[in-house]
Each structure stands twice: as structure tokens, then as C-alpha cells.
Amino acid sequence: MIDFRPTEENRLVQQSVREFAEAEINPHIREWDAKGEVHREIFNRMADLGLLGAPVHTRWGGSGMDYVSFAMICEELERADTAFRVVQSVHVGLNSLTLMQWGTDEQKTRWLIPQAKGEKLATFGLTEPGVGTDAGNLASTARRDGDSYVLNGQKIWISLADIADQFLVFASVDRSKGHRGVTAFVLERGMKGLSTGTLHGKLGIRAGNTGLINMDDVRVPMENRIGEEGEGFLIAMSAIDQGRFTVAAGNVGLAQACLDASLKYAHERRTFGDEIGKHQLVKQMLAKMVAGIEAGRLLVWRAGFLKNHGVRNTRETSLAKWHATDHAVASALDAIQIHGANGYSNEFPLERYLRNSKAAVIYEGTSQLHTLIQADFALGYREDRPLRCEPLPAEGFERLPASTAAAAGRA
């Protein structure tokens, strides 16, 4: 029997994050978004709730939650505002879970434990001014020099760039090798030659920091390399599987926020003598939102189930991300339509939802890329591995992030 009921732990996590968002974010987010303010203290409060190490094993300072709980955290945070889900995506999904999968025990002790406890804020640097989807063609370089590397290059569109303490970045030790030359490193704020900056003028996610990382002859000790030379592309792809999961879950929450606002308005607004919810074409838009949200949530939970059991989930996570992000944009557009002229005003949250929704169909793989991924799996051009489950450990919920890296025997 397939059981779709969340566990009691899942429900408690969801309830606590919803209450946190309603108390700490919702009363202020309109002002923060309008002013472009980033409030680091909210991240500290998220750490107090254990959210900055939610799916990290308790051995490494985390909360040991399963991936369905992690999805619910992302959904509830983005239901309030995308900027706060982004912290889960970048700090936890892209950085911490990657360190847990690929780092040595010494590296986990040094970097993962402070991140999971929220003592340090972390980010992930892959995208460059000339490199987005083509992640194997990095221009950033890492030159071996004795017992260290010297890194040069620039990363852009990096969430938390100007407020992060630790950076998981990727550079090539040999550009002639393409993706086989890509290598991963941890950089720390304060390293000589490392600087960051903030990007201004964003369409959305204005309450979150987005910027760039500059590396000018940054000397990085050998012990800061994650994995082996040339493993960086595998590491990056495994990280992106985690990031896509958080984006998918969050965008279910964004679509839910659009539905919540639209249902409220459909009862309050009256035309031609009736609530507008009585009008057939308004019902049609609401029904589309409901169907897409329910489908997206199930796709996310299926990917979470596979992650909980250490099963490769690139296909399932890609599908969840593609569906949920496209549906969030569609829901925001329909929600504005339901609100009419009011939807065009920042007196209502719909225009913010629309601005925020557009980013997610671009980052963590564009919708066009996910279209190709799904077609390639269907055509057999990509390997579609069978489901193989292993029992969950009794304590601490040992993470087995299964992804591209599973094929390399590293998960």
C-alpha cells in the first residue's frame, strides 16, 4: 500500500515553520522587498529552529530530518517569500549536503558542523559571466603551486555572496580537459584576493542578497579541495540535484501562496451581484492552480522518498523542478488576473509573487534544459536506473544523497 500521509514529525516541522513565517516574515516582507533589505537576523532565527542544518546528519551538527520534512520547510518559507527558501537551497542544499556527501571527516568537522548549527553562512559558486548551463566550460582556473592552489576568476548570480562566510566554488585545473578538469574548493571570507559584491536592480527576490565572487590569485590550501582533481563536475551535478529539489518544493509553496490569496479575494470581491468565485472562468483558474499544486507536491515527495532511500533521483527531481517552477509562474499570472487591477498593485502580494517566480524557471537548470532532460530519459539517451531501496538507519537519518555521483560510487 502506498501511504501519502506525512508523519507526525513532518507535520510538526511544517507547523513550526509556518508559524515562524507568519510571525517573523509576513508582517515585514512587503517593506523589505520594496527597500531591497536583507535581514541576516532572520537567518539566525532559522538556525535557532534547526532549519540551517535540517537534513544534515546529527553527527555533523544537523537536525537529522528526512527529505519530506526538508521539502515542507522549503514550501512554507517560499509561501512567505522566496528569499528565505533560497537560504535553504544555497546554504543547505548546494553547500552543506555536498560537503556531507563528498567531504572528509576533517572537512565536515571544520566547515559542515558550523554551517549546520548556523554559526557560519555558506554559499555555492558555479555560474560565471560567460557560463551558465554549460557548467563544464568554466573560465575560472586553479593552478597547483606546491601544497596549495591559486584560484583566479569570477562567479556571478551567487545567492548570499556578500553575506556568506564560506564558499564552495568550482574552477578548472586544466581547461583543455573540459568538465574533467573541473575541481571543487572551499574558500573562506578573509582569504587574500577573495572579494564579493552585490548585484542591484533585480526583477525579484529583492529581500535576498545576490552578488558576485571575485578571485584574484586566491591561495587555497590543499586541504580545502573537495574530492579529487577533476571530480568537480560530478560534485557540482550532485549538488544541483539537491538544489533543484529545494527549488521544486519552494515553488509549490509559491503557487500555494497565489492560490491562498486568490481564494480569499474570490470570496471578498463581488461583481454582477455575486462573489467572483461564483464565475465559471475564475473557477477555472483556481482549479488549474489546485491541480498543479497537488501534482507538484506529489512529485516533490516522490523525489524526497527516493532521497530518503539513497536512490538516484536525477530524473524525478528534474521533473519536479520543471513542473513546480513553470506552474508557479502560471499561478502568479492567473492570480493577478483574478485580482484584476488590484493584482497590478503592490498593495497586494501578487506582483511580488510574479517577480519572484520568474527566477526559478532560469536557475538550477532552465525549463528548456529540463525539457531536454526528460525527453532524453524517455528516449533512452540517458540512463534511467531502476528503483533500489535500502532500509533507513535507526538513528540520525544517515543521508545518502543519490545523484550523478552515485554512478561514480561516491554516494
**SS3 readout for 189-201:** CCCCCEEEEECCC
Helix (H, G, I), strand (E, B) or coil at 85: helix
Residue 284: strand, helix, or coil: helix
At 386 the pLDDT is: 54
With 70 as the cut, is the pLDDT of residue 364 above it? Answer: yes
pLDDT of residue 131: 86
Model confidence at 133, in pLDDT bands (50, 70, 90)? confident
Nearest 5°: the CA angle 84, 256, 76 is 35
Residue 295: strand, helix, or coil: helix
Q: pLDDT tier at 385 (50, 70, 90 boundaries)?
A: low
As a whole number of angstroms, the distance between CA 334 and CA 348 comes to: 14
Element (H, E) at 153: strand 148-159
Amino acid, single-letter form, for residue 262:
S
Rounded to an integer, the average pLDDT of 53-69 is 97
Check residue 402 and give its pLDDT: 38
Q: Computed from CA positions of residues 321, 324, 329, 330, in that sequence, does the dihedral angle turn out positive or negative? A: positive
Mean pLDDT computed over every residue of the chain: 93
The residue among 167, 176, 185 whose CA lies nearest residue 231 is: 185
For 126, the grid coordinates are 558555479
- How do residues 298-345 score in pLDDT, each as one tens digit? 999 999 999 999 999 999 999 999 999 999 999 999 999 999 999 999
pLDDT (tens digit per residue) in 206-219: 999 999 999 999 99
Q: What is the distance between the alpha carbons of residues 272 and 294, in angstroms, rounded to a whole number?
A: 32
410 pLDDT exceeds 50? no
Asked: is 233-408 a CATH 3.30.450.80 domain? The reply is: no
The gap between the terminal CA atoms of the chain, to the nearest Å, is 28
Q: Which residues contact 404 (CB under 8 A, 6 or more apart)?
A: 234, 237, 238, 241, 312, 314
**C-alpha cell at position 166:** 564560506
| Amino acid code (one letter) for 389 | C
CB atoms under 10 Å from CB of 201, counted, come to: 6
Find the range with the poorest average confidence among 9-23, 45-59, 389-403: 389-403
Q: Does domain 123-231 have CATH number 3.10.105.10?
A: no
| Dist CA 158 CA 167 (whole Å) | 10
Distance CA 232, CA 228 (A): 8
Confidence of residue 400 (pLDDT cuts 50, 70, 90): very low
User: CB-side exposure of 264: number of CA atoms within 13 Å?
Assistant: 9
Where are the chain's structural domains? 8-121, 123-231, 233-408
R_g of the chain, CA atoms, integer Å: 21
- Alpha helix locations (H) across 269-349? 280-308, 314-339
The cell for 100 is 556531507
Q: Which residues contact 353 (CB under 8 A, 6 or more apart)?
A: 254, 257, 258, 261, 328, 331, 332, 335
Q: Which residues are catalytic?
A: 364
Instruction: State how far the Cα of 68 lies from the Cα of 74, in Å rounded to an integer.
Output: 10
Cα(100)–Cα(103) distance, integer angstroms: 6
pTM, 2 dp: 0.93
Give residue 347's identity as a one-letter amino acid code.
E
Residues 6+ apart with CB under 8 A from 361: 325, 326, 329, 367
- What confidence score (pLDDT) does residue 58 get? 96
Tell me the Ramachandran region of residue 226: left when phi exceeds 0, alpha when psi lies from -120 to 50, beta otherwise. Answer: beta
What CATH number has the domain spanning 8-121?
A: 1.10.540.10
Question: CA-based angle 150:124:376, to the nearest 5?
Answer: 110
Residue 379, C-alpha cell as written in the block: 528516449
Cell representation of residue 401: 544523497
> Within a 10 A sphere around the Cβ of 337, how many other Cβ atoms?
14
Q: What are phi and psi of 70, to 5 degrees?
A: -60, -40
